[in-house]
Amino acid sequence: MIYQLYGGGGLGDSWASVSYVGKCHGTLSVITKENAVRTEMLNNIITLLGVQKSVYLSQQRGDHSLTRMVWTSPYLPTVRRWKPGPYGRICYQFEGISNANLKQPPPADFEKLVGFASGFQFVRLGKPVSLIESVDIMHKSDLFLGICSGFSHIAHSIGIPTFLIQYQMPIAPWHHGKKYSLCNGTNEAIHFVKSYLKI
């Protein structure tokens, strides 16, 4: 069965698609305007999830379109799983691509979100840091703090404690059945994380 890559092929779409197809042992169709970049990302995801023998990439159009079920299906775990620290590090991602105006913190809150935990280093995930390097950072962090974005989905597979901040767009539909702490706004996120870290 050839499955068509879900959505626009962003990081979250791609992670959920590879995880789903990996369980089905199928082929994932990659037909986008950025084939080379997208293919490299998908190959990295396939490696991180350890599904090289069950997911194949193809330029042929898929005969089965993936739907929103990719979000509700449990994700495959990464080959390397998170282990408790302490690491003295919080990894985060507050920038989203799709629906950014509904998901991201107000501009005035960015500074508050990256300096509230004394003694902890805050490390931003994503470009210019590569996907592989970002995942390595996640493995060496005490928790992930962010919005509904590509790295929030990766956090579920890694098993790192995950705190997701909800602003104007509901998070639940995209993280159904996943383990995370829902934070309604910036202040609640800071309170929950500080309570978790006991600081």
Q: Is the pLDDT of residue 194 over 90?
A: yes
180 and 126, same structural domain? yes
Choice between 117 and 29, residue whose per-residue pLDDT is larger: 117
Domain end marker among 15, 39, 72: 72
**Does residue 82 sit within a domain?**
no
112 and 67, same structural domain? no
Q: Is the pLDDT of residue 147 over 80?
A: yes
Centre a 10 Å sphere on the Cβ of residue 189 and count the other Cβ atoms it contains. 25
CATH code, 183: 3.40.50.450
Strand 162-166's sheet: what is its strand order?
Answer: 121-124, 89-93, 143-146, 162-166, 181-184
pLDDT in tens, 63-95: 777 777 787 888 999 999 999 989 999 999 998
Q: Give 111-117 contacts, CB < 8 A, sequence gap 24+.
A: 112/186, 112/190, 113/145, 113/186, 113/189, 113/190, 116/190, 116/193, 116/194, 117/90, 117/193, 117/194, 117/197, 117/199
pLDDT in tens, 5-46: 777 678 888 899 899 888 887 788 776 555 666 788 899 999
Are residues 12 and 72 in contact, defined by beta-carbon separation less than 8 angstroms? Answer: no
Domain end marker among 12, 38, 72: 72
187 and 137, same structural domain? yes
14 and 68, same structural domain? yes
Domain end marker among 13, 42, 72: 72
Among the ranges given (4-18, 81-95, 136-150, 177-191), the one the predictor scored with the smallest mean pLDDT = 4-18
Q: Domain containing 161: what range?
A: 89-197
Give the count of domains, the chain.
2
Write down the pTM of the prediction. Answer: 0.90
* Cα 135 versus chain centre, distance: 10
